[in-house]
Amino acid sequence: MKNFLPLVLLLSATFAFAADEIKINYDEALVPEYTLPDPLTCNDGTKVTTVEQWEKVRRPEILEQFQREMFGRLPKELREAGNHPDFVTFRVFEQSDDAYHGKAIRKQVEITFKSLTTDETVKANLLIYLPKNAPKPVPMFVGYNFQGNHTITDEPEVVLFHTRNSLEKVDESTLEGKGARGGSSSRWDLDQILDAGYGLATIHYNDVAFDGNRCHETGICKLYGFAHDAESREPDEWGSITAWAWGMGRVMDYFETDPQIDAKRVAVMGHSRLGKTSLWTGASDSRFAIVISNDSGCGGAALSRRSYGETVHRINVSFPFWFCLNFRKYNEDLAALPMDEHELIALMAPRPVYVASASEDRWADPNGEYQSCFFAVPVYQLYGTKTPFDGLAAPNWPGAENPVGNIIGYHCRKGGHDVQSYDWTQYIKFADKYFK
Ligand code: GCU
Protein backbone atom coordinates (compact mmCIF):
# COMPACT_ATOMS: atom_id res chain seq x y z
CA MET A 1 0.00 0.00 0.00
CA LYS A 2 1.26 3.47 -0.92
CA ASN A 3 1.92 5.96 1.87
CA PHE A 4 1.30 3.32 4.48
CA LEU A 5 2.75 5.12 7.47
CA PRO A 6 1.01 8.50 7.08
CA LEU A 7 -2.22 6.65 6.49
CA VAL A 8 -1.93 4.68 9.69
CA LEU A 9 -1.18 7.91 11.56
CA LEU A 10 -4.18 9.63 10.03
CA LEU A 11 -6.48 6.75 10.75
CA SER A 12 -5.37 6.37 14.31
CA ALA A 13 -5.76 10.12 14.87
CA THR A 14 -9.29 9.95 13.53
CA PHE A 15 -10.64 6.78 14.99
CA ALA A 16 -9.17 7.28 18.42
CA PHE A 17 -12.50 8.97 19.19
CA ALA A 18 -16.07 8.02 18.48
CA ALA A 19 -18.16 10.97 17.32
CA ASP A 20 -20.04 11.31 20.59
CA GLU A 21 -16.81 11.37 22.61
CA ILE A 22 -15.73 14.63 21.01
CA LYS A 23 -16.51 17.53 23.27
CA ILE A 24 -18.86 20.13 21.83
CA ASN A 25 -18.87 23.66 23.21
CA TYR A 26 -21.90 25.94 23.15
CA ASP A 27 -20.56 28.52 25.58
CA GLU A 28 -19.20 31.71 24.01
CA ALA A 29 -17.02 32.25 27.11
CA LEU A 30 -15.26 28.95 26.44
CA VAL A 31 -14.33 29.68 22.83
CA PRO A 32 -10.54 29.27 22.85
CA GLU A 33 -8.14 32.13 22.12
CA TYR A 34 -6.95 31.94 18.56
CA THR A 35 -5.08 33.90 15.92
CA LEU A 36 -6.52 33.86 12.42
CA PRO A 37 -4.23 33.63 9.41
CA ASP A 38 -4.09 36.97 7.62
CA PRO A 39 -5.57 36.71 4.13
CA LEU A 40 -3.36 39.61 3.06
CA THR A 41 -0.01 38.16 4.17
CA CYS A 42 1.63 35.80 1.68
CA ASN A 43 3.22 32.52 2.74
CA ASP A 44 6.65 34.20 2.55
CA GLY A 45 5.51 37.07 4.79
CA THR A 46 5.03 39.67 2.02
CA LYS A 47 2.07 41.98 2.64
CA VAL A 48 -0.50 42.20 -0.11
CA THR A 49 -1.33 45.78 -1.02
CA THR A 50 -2.57 45.50 -4.59
CA VAL A 51 -5.27 43.58 -6.41
CA GLU A 52 -2.60 42.25 -8.74
CA GLN A 53 -0.64 40.72 -5.84
CA TRP A 54 -3.84 39.26 -4.43
CA GLU A 55 -4.90 37.71 -7.72
CA LYS A 56 -1.47 36.51 -8.87
CA VAL A 57 0.10 35.39 -5.60
CA ARG A 58 -2.02 35.33 -2.49
CA ARG A 59 -5.35 34.10 -3.83
CA PRO A 60 -3.72 31.08 -5.54
CA GLU A 61 -1.86 30.32 -2.29
CA ILE A 62 -5.09 30.26 -0.30
CA LEU A 63 -6.92 28.26 -2.96
CA GLU A 64 -4.11 25.72 -2.90
CA GLN A 65 -4.34 25.46 0.90
CA PHE A 66 -8.06 24.72 0.74
CA GLN A 67 -7.44 22.21 -2.03
CA ARG A 68 -4.55 20.42 -0.40
CA GLU A 69 -5.52 20.55 3.27
CA MET A 70 -9.30 20.47 3.31
CA PHE A 71 -11.51 19.72 0.30
CA GLY A 72 -9.02 17.72 -1.75
CA ARG A 73 -7.93 18.03 -5.35
CA LEU A 74 -9.80 17.06 -8.45
CA PRO A 75 -8.31 14.13 -10.36
CA LYS A 76 -5.69 15.38 -12.82
CA GLU A 77 -7.80 14.52 -15.88
CA LEU A 78 -10.68 16.67 -14.65
CA ARG A 79 -8.37 19.55 -13.76
CA GLU A 80 -6.76 19.47 -17.14
CA ALA A 81 -10.06 19.17 -19.01
CA GLY A 82 -11.18 22.61 -17.78
CA ASN A 83 -14.68 23.89 -18.47
CA HIS A 84 -16.90 22.29 -21.11
CA PRO A 85 -15.10 18.93 -21.11
CA ASP A 86 -16.18 16.88 -24.12
CA PHE A 87 -16.89 13.86 -21.92
CA VAL A 88 -19.85 15.63 -20.28
CA THR A 89 -22.92 16.08 -22.48
CA PHE A 90 -26.41 17.49 -22.07
CA ARG A 91 -29.80 16.52 -23.43
CA VAL A 92 -33.06 18.36 -22.74
CA PHE A 93 -35.40 15.40 -22.33
CA GLU A 94 -38.53 17.19 -21.18
CA GLN A 95 -39.83 20.71 -21.57
CA SER A 96 -43.07 22.54 -20.87
CA ASP A 97 -43.77 26.17 -21.66
CA ASP A 98 -46.79 26.12 -19.41
CA ALA A 99 -45.52 24.69 -16.15
CA TYR A 100 -45.99 25.48 -12.48
CA HIS A 101 -49.49 27.06 -12.54
CA GLY A 102 -48.75 28.63 -15.90
CA LYS A 103 -45.95 30.75 -14.42
CA ALA A 104 -42.93 28.88 -15.65
CA ILE A 105 -41.04 27.20 -18.40
CA ARG A 106 -39.82 23.86 -17.09
CA LYS A 107 -36.91 21.96 -18.57
CA GLN A 108 -35.31 18.73 -17.49
CA VAL A 109 -31.81 18.15 -18.73
CA GLU A 110 -29.99 14.86 -18.57
CA ILE A 111 -26.31 15.33 -17.88
CA THR A 112 -24.15 12.40 -18.98
CA PHE A 113 -20.69 12.01 -17.53
CA LYS A 114 -18.66 9.59 -19.64
CA SER A 115 -15.76 7.60 -18.34
CA LEU A 116 -12.35 8.53 -19.73
CA THR A 117 -11.37 4.91 -20.21
CA THR A 118 -14.45 2.68 -20.51
CA ASP A 119 -18.02 2.85 -21.83
CA GLU A 120 -19.38 3.55 -18.39
CA THR A 121 -21.51 6.63 -17.80
CA VAL A 122 -23.10 8.41 -14.86
CA LYS A 123 -26.28 10.39 -15.38
CA ALA A 124 -27.75 13.25 -13.40
CA ASN A 125 -30.93 15.24 -14.00
CA LEU A 126 -30.99 18.98 -13.88
CA LEU A 127 -34.42 20.50 -13.22
CA ILE A 128 -34.91 24.08 -14.41
CA TYR A 129 -37.78 26.50 -13.89
CA LEU A 130 -37.68 29.84 -15.72
CA PRO A 131 -40.14 32.69 -15.15
CA LYS A 132 -42.36 32.54 -18.23
CA ASN A 133 -43.05 36.23 -18.60
CA ALA A 134 -39.65 37.67 -17.69
CA PRO A 135 -37.41 38.93 -20.51
CA LYS A 136 -34.83 36.34 -21.52
CA PRO A 137 -32.12 35.52 -20.78
CA VAL A 138 -32.97 35.35 -17.07
CA PRO A 139 -30.73 35.44 -13.99
CA MET A 140 -30.69 32.21 -11.99
CA PHE A 141 -30.41 30.66 -8.59
CA VAL A 142 -28.92 27.18 -8.68
CA GLY A 143 -28.32 24.66 -5.94
CA TYR A 144 -28.20 20.99 -5.16
CA ASN A 145 -31.13 19.35 -3.41
CA PHE A 146 -30.93 16.62 -0.77
CA GLN A 147 -33.84 14.35 -1.65
CA GLY A 148 -34.46 14.47 -5.39
CA ASN A 149 -35.73 16.95 -7.97
CA HIS A 150 -39.30 15.75 -7.44
CA THR A 151 -39.28 17.18 -3.90
CA ILE A 152 -39.07 20.82 -5.07
CA THR A 153 -42.64 21.01 -6.43
CA ASP A 154 -45.46 18.50 -6.70
CA GLU A 155 -45.41 18.49 -10.51
CA PRO A 156 -45.86 14.87 -11.62
CA GLU A 157 -43.63 15.29 -14.69
CA VAL A 158 -40.50 15.83 -12.64
CA VAL A 159 -38.28 12.77 -12.73
CA LEU A 160 -37.06 11.66 -9.32
CA PHE A 161 -33.40 10.88 -9.77
CA HIS A 162 -31.21 8.42 -11.57
CA THR A 163 -31.77 5.36 -9.44
CA ARG A 164 -29.02 3.59 -11.28
CA ASN A 165 -26.58 5.94 -9.56
CA SER A 166 -27.95 5.42 -6.10
CA LEU A 167 -27.01 2.32 -4.25
CA GLU A 168 -30.57 1.10 -3.99
CA LYS A 169 -33.50 1.31 -6.37
CA VAL A 170 -36.25 3.48 -4.95
CA ASP A 171 -39.97 3.03 -5.32
CA GLU A 172 -41.67 6.45 -5.21
CA SER A 173 -44.60 5.20 -3.16
CA THR A 174 -42.22 4.48 -0.28
CA LEU A 175 -40.93 8.06 -0.16
CA GLU A 176 -42.34 10.20 2.59
CA GLY A 177 -41.85 13.50 4.40
CA LYS A 178 -39.22 15.75 2.86
CA GLY A 179 -38.37 12.99 0.38
CA ALA A 180 -41.89 12.69 -1.08
CA ARG A 181 -43.02 14.53 -4.22
CA GLY A 182 -43.21 18.20 -3.23
CA GLY A 183 -41.98 17.27 0.26
CA SER A 184 -39.18 19.84 0.33
CA SER A 185 -41.04 22.64 -1.45
CA SER A 186 -40.92 24.84 1.66
CA ARG A 187 -37.14 25.00 1.16
CA TRP A 188 -37.46 26.26 -2.41
CA ASP A 189 -39.81 29.23 -2.49
CA LEU A 190 -40.38 28.90 -6.22
CA ASP A 191 -43.25 31.43 -6.30
CA GLN A 192 -41.12 34.12 -4.74
CA ILE A 193 -38.17 33.29 -7.02
CA LEU A 194 -40.20 33.26 -10.25
CA ASP A 195 -42.22 36.36 -9.29
CA ALA A 196 -38.94 38.24 -8.79
CA GLY A 197 -37.88 37.33 -12.33
CA TYR A 198 -35.35 34.62 -11.46
CA GLY A 199 -35.05 31.08 -12.65
CA LEU A 200 -34.31 28.19 -10.33
CA ALA A 201 -32.26 25.14 -11.24
CA THR A 202 -31.56 22.19 -9.03
CA ILE A 203 -29.96 18.81 -9.17
CA HIS A 204 -29.96 15.90 -6.77
CA TYR A 205 -26.54 15.70 -5.16
CA ASN A 206 -26.46 11.90 -4.94
CA ASP A 207 -26.87 11.74 -8.73
CA VAL A 208 -23.42 13.34 -9.02
CA ALA A 209 -21.59 11.82 -6.07
CA PHE A 210 -23.06 9.58 -3.43
CA ASP A 211 -23.15 11.07 0.07
CA GLY A 212 -21.85 8.15 2.08
CA ASN A 213 -18.85 6.02 2.90
CA ARG A 214 -19.55 4.03 -0.24
CA CYS A 215 -19.15 7.08 -2.52
CA HIS A 216 -16.45 5.19 -4.42
CA GLU A 217 -19.06 2.65 -5.58
CA THR A 218 -21.18 5.05 -7.58
CA GLY A 219 -21.41 8.49 -9.24
CA ILE A 220 -18.49 10.51 -10.52
CA CYS A 221 -16.17 9.49 -7.67
CA LYS A 222 -16.27 6.00 -9.07
CA LEU A 223 -16.17 7.15 -12.69
CA TYR A 224 -13.21 9.52 -12.44
CA GLY A 225 -11.77 8.93 -9.07
CA PHE A 226 -10.99 6.36 -6.56
CA ALA A 227 -11.46 2.72 -7.37
CA HIS A 228 -10.81 2.14 -3.69
CA ASP A 229 -12.65 3.18 -0.57
CA ALA A 230 -12.56 6.70 0.82
CA GLU A 231 -10.16 5.70 3.60
CA SER A 232 -7.38 4.72 1.21
CA ARG A 233 -7.33 7.92 -0.79
CA GLU A 234 -4.12 9.87 -1.26
CA PRO A 235 -3.94 12.51 1.52
CA ASP A 236 -5.00 15.33 -0.83
CA GLU A 237 -7.34 13.32 -3.06
CA TRP A 238 -10.85 14.77 -3.47
CA GLY A 239 -13.69 14.28 -1.06
CA SER A 240 -17.33 14.40 -2.09
CA ILE A 241 -17.64 18.19 -1.58
CA THR A 242 -15.06 18.71 -4.32
CA ALA A 243 -16.94 16.22 -6.50
CA TRP A 244 -20.21 18.10 -5.98
CA ALA A 245 -18.50 21.44 -6.67
CA TRP A 246 -17.08 20.13 -9.94
CA GLY A 247 -20.53 18.82 -10.88
CA MET A 248 -21.96 22.29 -10.29
CA GLY A 249 -19.36 23.66 -12.69
CA ARG A 250 -20.83 21.36 -15.35
CA VAL A 251 -24.27 22.83 -14.65
CA MET A 252 -22.71 26.23 -15.39
CA ASP A 253 -21.34 24.73 -18.64
CA TYR A 254 -24.93 23.88 -19.58
CA PHE A 255 -26.17 27.37 -18.63
CA GLU A 256 -23.58 28.83 -21.00
CA THR A 257 -25.26 26.99 -23.86
CA ASP A 258 -28.89 27.83 -23.04
CA PRO A 259 -30.00 31.10 -24.66
CA GLN A 260 -32.84 31.54 -22.13
CA ILE A 261 -30.38 31.62 -19.21
CA ASP A 262 -27.99 34.44 -18.43
CA ALA A 263 -24.89 32.53 -17.32
CA LYS A 264 -23.27 35.80 -16.24
CA ARG A 265 -25.98 36.27 -13.60
CA VAL A 266 -26.00 33.02 -11.69
CA ALA A 267 -26.13 32.77 -7.90
CA VAL A 268 -25.06 29.38 -6.53
CA MET A 269 -26.85 28.59 -3.28
CA GLY A 270 -26.68 25.64 -0.92
CA HIS A 271 -27.92 24.59 2.49
CA SER A 272 -25.82 22.93 5.15
CA ARG A 273 -23.37 20.39 3.60
CA LEU A 274 -24.55 21.78 0.30
CA GLY A 275 -23.75 25.27 1.59
CA LYS A 276 -20.19 24.12 2.21
CA THR A 277 -20.42 22.92 -1.40
CA SER A 278 -21.73 26.24 -2.76
CA LEU A 279 -18.84 28.08 -1.10
CA TRP A 280 -16.28 25.68 -2.52
CA THR A 281 -17.99 25.91 -5.93
CA GLY A 282 -17.79 29.70 -5.92
CA ALA A 283 -14.18 29.64 -4.74
CA SER A 284 -13.08 27.22 -7.43
CA ASP A 285 -15.19 28.50 -10.34
CA SER A 286 -15.37 32.27 -10.67
CA ARG A 287 -18.12 32.09 -13.31
CA PHE A 288 -20.63 31.99 -10.45
CA ALA A 289 -21.41 35.69 -10.03
CA ILE A 290 -22.94 35.41 -6.54
CA VAL A 291 -22.28 32.78 -3.88
CA ILE A 292 -24.75 32.00 -1.10
CA SER A 293 -24.22 29.82 1.95
CA ASN A 294 -27.25 28.82 4.01
CA ASP A 295 -26.41 27.38 7.46
CA SER A 296 -23.20 25.81 6.14
CA GLY A 297 -21.44 25.82 9.53
CA CYS A 298 -18.28 23.83 10.15
CA GLY A 299 -16.29 23.27 6.96
CA GLY A 300 -18.37 26.05 5.38
CA ALA A 301 -18.79 29.61 6.58
CA ALA A 302 -18.01 29.09 10.28
CA LEU A 303 -14.49 29.79 11.54
CA SER A 304 -12.88 26.45 12.41
CA ARG A 305 -10.72 27.91 15.15
CA ARG A 306 -13.71 28.92 17.27
CA SER A 307 -14.64 25.27 17.85
CA TYR A 308 -18.17 26.33 18.73
CA GLY A 309 -20.81 23.72 17.88
CA GLU A 310 -19.54 21.21 15.34
CA THR A 311 -15.75 20.98 15.25
CA VAL A 312 -13.25 19.92 12.60
CA HIS A 313 -12.56 16.80 14.62
CA ARG A 314 -16.21 15.90 14.86
CA ILE A 315 -16.98 16.51 11.20
CA ASN A 316 -14.01 14.41 10.10
CA VAL A 317 -15.18 11.54 12.27
CA SER A 318 -18.86 11.76 11.33
CA PHE A 319 -18.38 12.46 7.62
CA PRO A 320 -14.96 10.99 6.74
CA PHE A 321 -15.54 11.26 2.97
CA TRP A 322 -16.59 14.95 2.64
CA PHE A 323 -13.06 16.31 2.97
CA CYS A 324 -9.64 14.97 2.04
CA LEU A 325 -7.60 12.90 4.50
CA ASN A 326 -5.19 15.79 5.13
CA PHE A 327 -7.97 17.69 6.92
CA ARG A 328 -7.76 15.16 9.75
CA LYS A 329 -4.28 16.42 10.67
CA TYR A 330 -6.00 19.39 12.28
CA ASN A 331 -8.52 17.46 14.35
CA GLU A 332 -6.70 18.34 17.52
CA ASP A 333 -4.38 21.05 16.25
CA LEU A 334 -6.42 23.87 14.75
CA ALA A 335 -3.61 26.35 15.25
CA ALA A 336 -1.68 24.45 12.58
CA LEU A 337 -4.40 24.98 9.94
CA PRO A 338 -2.75 27.24 7.37
CA MET A 339 -6.09 28.86 6.53
CA ASP A 340 -9.51 29.45 8.08
CA GLU A 341 -13.00 29.95 6.69
CA HIS A 342 -12.84 33.77 6.42
CA GLU A 343 -10.35 33.07 3.65
CA LEU A 344 -12.85 30.82 1.89
CA ILE A 345 -15.22 33.82 1.86
CA ALA A 346 -12.37 36.06 0.68
CA LEU A 347 -11.76 33.78 -2.30
CA MET A 348 -15.05 35.10 -3.76
CA ALA A 349 -13.77 38.70 -3.90
CA PRO A 350 -14.72 40.91 -5.59
CA ARG A 351 -17.93 38.98 -6.27
CA PRO A 352 -20.91 39.43 -3.92
CA VAL A 353 -21.14 36.69 -1.30
CA TYR A 354 -23.95 36.06 1.19
CA VAL A 355 -23.90 34.02 4.38
CA ALA A 356 -27.02 33.07 6.33
CA SER A 357 -27.39 31.48 9.75
CA ALA A 358 -30.36 30.47 11.89
CA SER A 359 -30.64 31.50 15.53
CA GLU A 360 -31.29 28.00 16.90
CA ASP A 361 -28.71 26.37 14.67
CA ARG A 362 -25.92 26.54 17.23
CA TRP A 363 -24.33 23.42 15.71
CA ALA A 364 -23.41 25.62 12.70
CA ASP A 365 -22.14 28.50 14.92
CA PRO A 366 -24.04 31.60 13.67
CA ASN A 367 -21.51 33.95 15.28
CA GLY A 368 -18.62 32.08 13.67
CA GLU A 369 -20.36 32.35 10.29
CA TYR A 370 -20.62 36.11 10.78
CA GLN A 371 -16.98 36.36 11.90
CA SER A 372 -15.84 34.80 8.62
CA CYS A 373 -17.67 37.54 6.72
CA PHE A 374 -16.17 40.22 8.91
CA PHE A 375 -12.60 38.98 8.56
CA ALA A 376 -12.96 38.72 4.77
CA VAL A 377 -13.66 42.47 4.50
CA PRO A 378 -9.99 43.55 4.03
CA VAL A 379 -9.75 41.54 0.82
CA TYR A 380 -12.85 43.25 -0.59
CA GLN A 381 -11.44 46.61 0.52
CA LEU A 382 -8.39 45.91 -1.61
CA TYR A 383 -10.68 46.16 -4.60
CA GLY A 384 -11.62 49.65 -3.41
CA THR A 385 -15.22 48.56 -3.46
CA LYS A 386 -17.52 51.55 -3.26
CA THR A 387 -20.10 49.40 -1.54
CA PRO A 388 -20.13 50.07 2.19
CA PHE A 389 -19.84 47.22 4.64
CA ASP A 390 -22.90 48.29 6.64
CA GLY A 391 -23.05 46.31 9.83
CA LEU A 392 -19.80 44.52 9.02
CA ALA A 393 -17.66 47.24 10.51
CA ALA A 394 -17.25 45.46 13.84
CA PRO A 395 -16.83 41.83 14.74
CA ASN A 396 -20.02 41.93 16.84
CA TRP A 397 -22.61 39.45 15.67
CA PRO A 398 -25.65 41.48 14.52
CA GLY A 399 -28.22 39.10 16.04
CA ALA A 400 -31.34 37.57 14.54
CA GLU A 401 -33.44 39.09 11.75
CA ASN A 402 -31.13 42.01 11.20
CA PRO A 403 -29.62 41.55 7.72
CA VAL A 404 -26.35 43.46 7.37
CA GLY A 405 -23.66 44.21 4.83
CA ASN A 406 -23.71 44.82 1.14
CA ILE A 407 -21.20 43.12 -1.09
CA ILE A 408 -20.69 40.67 1.77
CA GLY A 409 -24.19 40.10 3.09
CA TYR A 410 -25.23 38.31 6.26
CA HIS A 411 -28.41 37.50 8.12
CA CYS A 412 -29.47 35.21 10.89
CA ARG A 413 -33.05 33.98 10.58
CA LYS A 414 -35.00 33.17 13.74
CA GLY A 415 -35.47 29.44 14.06
CA GLY A 416 -33.72 26.22 13.24
CA HIS A 417 -31.49 24.60 10.64
CA ASP A 418 -33.52 25.00 7.44
CA VAL A 419 -34.12 27.15 4.37
CA GLN A 420 -37.27 29.20 4.58
CA SER A 421 -39.05 31.94 2.65
CA TYR A 422 -37.42 34.57 4.86
CA ASP A 423 -34.01 33.38 3.62
CA TRP A 424 -35.11 33.53 -0.01
CA THR A 425 -36.46 37.07 0.49
CA GLN A 426 -32.98 38.17 1.58
CA TYR A 427 -31.24 36.29 -1.25
CA ILE A 428 -33.51 37.86 -3.84
CA LYS A 429 -33.01 41.36 -2.39
CA PHE A 430 -29.27 40.76 -2.41
CA ALA A 431 -29.22 39.42 -5.97
CA ASP A 432 -31.42 42.33 -7.15
CA LYS A 433 -28.70 44.76 -6.08
CA TYR A 434 -26.16 43.17 -8.40
CA PHE A 435 -28.22 41.54 -11.12
CA LYS A 436 -30.92 44.09 -11.86
C1 GCU B 1 -24.80 17.46 9.93
C2 GCU B 1 -23.37 17.92 9.84
C3 GCU B 1 -23.26 19.34 9.31
C4 GCU B 1 -24.03 19.48 8.03
C5 GCU B 1 -25.44 18.98 8.21
C6 GCU B 1 -26.26 18.92 6.93
O7 GCU B 1 -25.46 18.16 10.93
O8 GCU B 1 -22.80 17.77 11.10
O9 GCU B 1 -21.92 19.69 9.09
O10 GCU B 1 -24.01 20.82 7.59
O11 GCU B 1 -25.41 17.65 8.70
O12 GCU B 1 -25.72 18.90 5.86
O13 GCU B 1 -27.47 18.81 7.06
Residue 322 sits in a domain of what CATH number? Answer: 3.40.50.1820
Question: Can you tell me the mean pLDDT for 166-172?
Answer: 71
Query: Could you tell me the residue range of the domain that residue 75 belongs to?
Result: 28-83+132-435
Distance 356 CA to ligand 1 centre (A): 15
Query: Confidence class of residue 5 from pLDDT cuts 50, 70 and 90?
Result: very low
Distance CA 105, CA 97 (A): 4
Question: Can you tell me the mean pLDDT for 116-125?
Answer: 94
Domain count within the chain: 1
Distance CA 59, CA 349 (A): 10
Closest Cα to atom 8 of ligand 1: 315
Distance 273 CA to ligand 1 centre (A): 5
Q: Please determine, for residue 131, whether its predicted confidence score (pLDDT) is greater than 70.
A: yes
Q: Do the domain assignments include residue 182? A: yes
Pocket test residue of 271, 274, 310 for ligand 1, highest count of atoms within 8 A of CB = 310
Q: Please determine, for residue 9, whether its predicted confidence score (pLDDT) is greater than 50.
A: no
The predicted pLDDT at position 228 comes to 77
83 vs 171, higher pLDDT: 83
Query: Confidence class of residue 215 from pLDDT cuts 50, 70 and 90?
Result: confident
Q: Please determine, for residue 165, whether its predicted confidence score (pLDDT) is greater than 80.
A: no
The predicted pLDDT at position 325 comes to 97
Q: Do the domain assignments include residue 244? A: yes
In sequence order, the 6+-apart residues with CB closer than 8 A to the CB of 118 are none
Q: Do the domain assignments include residue 361? A: yes
Q: Is there a cis peptide before residue 366, judged by omega within 30 degrees of 0?
A: no
The predicted pLDDT at position 142 comes to 99
Mean pLDDT taken over the chain: 93
The predicted pLDDT at position 188 comes to 98
The predicted pLDDT at position 216 comes to 83
The predicted pLDDT at position 167 comes to 59
Q: Please determine, for residue 4, whether its predicted confidence score (pLDDT) is greater than 50.
A: no
The predicted pLDDT at position 2 comes to 42
Distance CA 342, CA 12 (A): 29
Q: Do the domain assignments include residue 308? A: yes
Which atom of ligand 1 is the closest one to the Cα of 298?
9
Q: Do the domain assignments include residue 88? A: no
What sign does the CA torsion over 357, 362, 363, 369 have?
Answer: positive
Q: What percentage of the chain reaches a pLDDT higher than 90? A: 86
Q: Hey, which residues are catalytic here?
A: 272, 417
In sequence order, the 6+-apart residues with CB closer than 8 A to the CB of 2 are 234
The predicted pLDDT at position 174 comes to 87
The predicted pLDDT at position 386 comes to 72
The predicted pLDDT at position 377 comes to 96
The predicted pLDDT at position 394 comes to 84
Question: pLDDT tens digit string along 11-29?
Answer: 544 456 789 899 999 999 9
Query: Confidence class of residue 378 from pLDDT cuts 50, 70 and 90?
Result: very high
Q: Do the domain assignments include residue 309? A: yes
325: left (phi over 0), alpha (psi -120 to 50) or beta: alpha
Question: Can you tell me the mean pLDDT for 208-229?
Answer: 87
Q: Do the domain assignments include residue 89? A: no
Which atom of ligand 1 is the closest one to the Cα of 318?
8
C-alpha distance across the termini of the chain, in Å:
55
Who lines ligand 1 at CB under 6 A?
272-273, 297-298, 310, 315, 318, 363
What sign does the CA torsion over 46, 79, 326, 361 have?
Answer: positive
CA 182 to chain centre: 23
Q: Do the domain assignments include residue 169? A: yes
Question: Can you tell me the mean pLDDT for 160-171?
Answer: 66
Residues 277 and 248 sit within 8 Å (Cβ to Cβ): yes
Q: Please determine, for residue 7, whether its predicted confidence score (pLDDT) is greater than 60.
A: no
Q: Please determine, for residue 156, whether its predicted confidence score (pLDDT) is greater than 80.
A: yes
